[in-house]
Structure 1
C-alpha cells in the first residue's frame, strides 16, 4: 500500500501540516464512531471490537427509541426493575472503560510530537474533554443505575401484581405524623386515589382523620370487634375513637389481627387503615403508600423546594402544642423549602382539619408536578436518599413500569377531587356512609354521556 493511498495509516511524518490534519481527523472520528480511528490507523482488531460495540449500542438505542415511542410501558418496566438496572450499570461501565481505552489509544496514534506546536495543546485538550464527557457520562449512568436499583430494593416489594378491579386501581395514601406528644404514628393525611387502568383518569377521595363510627366489611378482623363501627358501642382501646386512631390501636394493641402483614410488605396498622378506607368508600384497595411527613421535608429539599399559591397567611408553630406562632407563611405565590412546606401542610393554629386536607393535597400535587425526568436525574442522589426514608409501600417492582406509564396519562387529565367534608354534604362526626359511597361511586364510575338523538 502506497503512502499516498493511505495517508492516515502511513502518513508523511515529516509534514507537520499533514500530521496535524490527520490528528484532527482521528480525534473527531474517535468521537463520532469509536473504533474507527483504530481501524484506519492502528490496531485493526481493537478497532473492529470498538466498532462492533459502537454499532451494538446504536442498534440498542434505535430499538429502545422505537419501543419507547410505540410501547413506553416496556421501557418504563425495564428501567424500574433491579435486575435490568444492574445489567444496564454493567453495560454502561463496560462502555465507559472501552471509550477510555479507545481515546487513550487514539492519542497514541495521533503522535502529537509530529504535529505543529500550536495545535498540540488543542488536539490533546479536545481528546481529553471528549474522553471525560463520554466516558464520564457512561460511568455516571452506571452509578445512577446502581443507586436506582438500591432505592427500588429498599422501597418496593417483590410481590405479585394485582389486577385492576372493575377497570380501576385503588391506592391508599397515608401521610404519617409521629409527633413527640403521641404514642406511635397516626396518619394525619388519608386519601384514596382511584385510577382508571386504561385512560389514567384519577379520582382522589380525601378522608378526614376525625371520622367516627368507621364501618368495616364483613371479612375484616375489625368487623368482629366493632360490628357497629369503630368505637360506636363501648369505645375503643385508645384515647380517641376516630379514623386515624385505628392505625395506632391495631399497631400497638392488637397487631395479631393481621399476622401476615409484615411478611407481605405492610404493617398491621396499615392493613387496618386499608380495611377502614374500604369500608368508608366501598372501593377495594389493591395497594397502599405510606409517606412519613417528617421525612417528606427531606424529599422537598432534595427537589429544590415547591411552589404553591398560599391563599392566606399560614402560621408556623414554635412548639408541638400548635398554639404559639413563631413565624408566618405569607399569602400569595411562595416557593417553600422542606421545612416551610411541611408546616404549610400540617399547621393547625386558627384553621380546621378540612383546611389542612386542602393544603396537604396542594403540597402533594406540587411535589408530583416537579417529579419530571430532568429534575429527578439532576438531583437523583438526594431524591433517592430521601425517598428511601420517606416512602413505604406494597406496590411491587413489577408494576412500576405500568404505573409510571399510567401516571404520564394521568398528568394530561384533570384530577377529580372528592373531599368528604361538610362543604360536600359530609359530617365526619355524624357520617352517612351510604351517602359517602354514593358520592364515591358517582365520581369513580361517572355515567356515560348520552349519544345525541339522530334526526
Structure 2
C-alpha cells in the first residue's frame, strides 16, 4: 500500500492544482489588460481621425470612406497651402479672396461641409472602437473625448464659416452693385461725406466733405477738404444743377452742405436716382475742384465712434485742450494736451468739436484722425476684432464703390499706409469761402496732386505753392483763422499732426 493519503497526486509527475482564487485573479487581470487595450485603441482611432481624417476608417472601418476622406483632406491641405503661398507673393489674390462674394460663399459652404464631415468621421471612429465592449468607466471617458473632439473641430470650422459669412454680409450691405468707374487721369477720386445719419437720413446736410484722391498705381493719397459753408460756387458744367444755377449757388443761405437738401426737395430733376442729394453734391464738388468724382462714401459719424472702439482706440497728438461735449452737458470735460490713445467718443469729439474753435480748425483735426486711422490700423488688429469691426462698419458707411472694386481699394489702402498723405483745404486764408476764386481753387488742387505725384518742376514754378507752404509747421488744431492750420495744407499730414 502506498504511504500517501488517498486521492493525493504527489509523486505522479503532475503539478499541484492551484487554488480556485488564483485562476479568477489571473482571468480578471487578463480581462483588464484586454479592456485597457480596447480603450487605448478606441482613443487612438479618434486621435487618428483628428490628425488625419479618414485614417481610422482606412485602418479598421470602411476603407472606401477612409480613402475618400483622406483624399479630400489632402486636397484641402494642398489647396490651403497653395492659396497661402500665392497670397504671400501676390497680395492682390488675398484682397480678391476676402472681397469676392462668390468666393466667400464657396468658402463658407466648404467650411460647413468640412465641419460636418469631420465630425461624422470622429463619431464613426468612436463606433469603430466598439464602445459597448468597454467597461463603464472607459465608456464614459471615450464618450467625453469624442464629444470634446467633435465640439472642438466642428465648432472651430463653423465659427470660421460664421466669420466668412459676416464678411460677405458686410460687403453686400455696405458696397454697391453698380458698374466700376475708370480712374480719371490716373487717380480715383472718392468723395467722403460725413454726418449724423439715421433711418432715411443718408445724404442730408453732410457735416464734412473731403475728396480722397488716390493714385491708381501707387496709392499715394491727397485729401482735399471743402468747407460746408462755402457759397456762390459753380456746378459741373452741363449738369442738372448747372442748368438750375447757371450763375452759381448764390441764393440766400445757400451753402455747400445745403445742396443735398435742395436736391431732396426737387427729386424730379434727378429722374430715378436713389441718391439725388449725393448726386447734386457731387456736381457741386466737381465744379469747385475741377476733379471727376469716381465714387462716394457716406460716413455715419456715430458709427465711426463704434469703429474706433472696435480697434481699441486711436493714438493722437492733442495740441490744445479739446472739449468733450458741451458745457451744459453732464459729461462735459476736456481732453488735455499730449499724446493719448482716445476711445471712440473722445476721437469723435476730437474730430468734431467746435466749442472754443472754428470749422477750419475742426477740418484740420479731422484730417489728423483720418491719417491716424490709415497708419495705425493693421491687418492683425482687424483680424482680432473682426466681428466688432464688421458690425460697426456696416452701420458706419454707405458707398457707391461696387463689390467688384473692393480688392483694388484694399490693395491701394495697403500701399497708402507706407506713404505720407498730402492735404489741401479750400479754406481761409487761401480761399474766400463766401466768394471763392474757382480758377485759383482748381490750381491749388492741381498743385497738391502734382506734388504728391512728384511733379516738383510745375509746383515750384507757381506762387500758389509758396502760399500753401506759408501756413506753418504746427498741426492739429494749432494755428488760427488768419494764418491757417498746417494740417489743412500739408505735404506730409503725419508730420503736421
Does structure 1 residue 50 correspond to structure 2 residue 50?
no
1:321-400 matches, within 5 Å, as 326-369=332-375, 371-400=377-406
Q: Distance in 2 between matches of 1:379 and 1:209?
A: 34
- The answer as to whether partners of 1:27 and 1:123 remain within 8 angstroms in 2 is no
Q: From 268, 280, 290, give the equivalent of 1:256.
A: 268
Q: Distance in 2 between matches of 1:420 and 1:80?
A: 35
Does structure 1 residue 219 correspond to structure 2 residue 219?
no
Structure-2 residue corresponding to 1:6: none
Q: For 2:116, what is the secondary structure of its paired residue? A: helix
Deviation at 1:361, TM superposition (A): 2.0
Q: Distance in 2 between matches of 1:128 and 1:361?
A: 53
Q: From 256, 259, 263, give the equivalent of 1:243.
A: 256
Q: Distance in 2 between matches of 1:185 and 1:335?
A: 31
Structure-1 residue corresponding to 2:294: 286
Q: Distance in 1 between matches of 2:216 and 2:141?
A: 56
Structure-1 residue corresponding to 2:444: 439
Q: Distance in 2 between matches of 1:178 and 1:388?
A: 13
Q: CA RMSD in A?
A: 3.2
Shift in alpha-carbon separation, 1:399–1:387, aligned structure 2, 3 A: same
Cα deviation 1:182-212 (Å, max 9, x = unaligned): 9983212111011111111111111121222
Q: Which has the higher contact order (CA 8 A, sep 6+)?
A: 1
Structure-1 residue corresponding to 2:58: 39
Q: For 2:107, what is the secondary structure of its paired residue? A: helix
Length, aligned pairs only: 423
Shift in alpha-carbon separation, 1:105–1:369, aligned structure 2, 3 A: farther
Shift in alpha-carbon separation, 1:324–1:382, aligned structure 2, 3 A: closer
Q: From 273, 294, 302, give the equivalent of 2:310.
A: 302
Q: Distance in 2 between matches of 1:130 and 1:307?
A: 42
Q: Gaps (5+ residues) in structure 1? A: 1-11, 451-455
Q: Distance in 2 between matches of 1:325 and 1:55?
A: 59
- The answer as to whether partners of 1:76 and 1:402 remain within 8 angstroms in 2 is yes
Structure-1 residue corresponding to 2:7: none
Cα deviation 1:242-266 (Å, max 9, x = unaligned): 2212122222x2222322321xxxx
Shift in alpha-carbon separation, 1:112–1:367, aligned structure 2, 3 A: farther
- The answer as to whether partners of 1:314 and 1:347 remain within 8 angstroms in 2 is yes
Q: Distance in 2 between matches of 1:79 and 1:349?
A: 42
Shift in alpha-carbon separation, 1:113–1:157, aligned structure 2, 3 A: same
**Which shifted more, 98-107 or 283-292?**
98-107
Does structure 1 residue 131 correspond to structure 2 residue 150?
yes
Structure-1 residue corresponding to 2:86: 67
Does structure 1 residue 196 correspond to structure 2 residue 215?
yes
Q: Distance in 2 between matches of 1:364 and 1:85?
A: 29
Structure-2 residue corresponding to 1:80: 99
Q: Distance in 2 between matches of 1:343 and 1:260?
A: 37
Q: Distance in 2 between matches of 1:323 and 1:143?
A: 41
- The answer as to whether partners of 1:303 and 1:370 remain within 8 angstroms in 2 is no
Q: For 2:323, what is the secondary structure of its paired residue? A: strand
- The answer as to whether partners of 2:239 and 2:283 remain within 8 angstroms in 1 is yes
Q: Gaps (5+ residues) in structure 2? A: 1-30, 458-497
Report the TM-score when normalising by structure 1. 0.83
Shift in alpha-carbon separation, 1:169–1:54, aligned structure 2, 3 A: same
- The answer as to whether partners of 1:177 and 1:186 remain within 8 angstroms in 2 is no
Q: For 2:173, what is the secondary structure of its paired residue? A: helix
Deviation at 1:443, TM superposition (A): 2.3
Q: From 312, 318, 323, give the equivalent of 1:315.
A: 323
Q: For 1:244, what is the secondary structure of its paired residue? A: helix
**Higher CA-based Rg:** 2
- The answer as to whether partners of 1:306 and 1:341 remain within 8 angstroms in 2 is yes
Cα deviation 1:402-444 (Å, max 9, x = unaligned): 1112211111211112222336x33323422222211211222
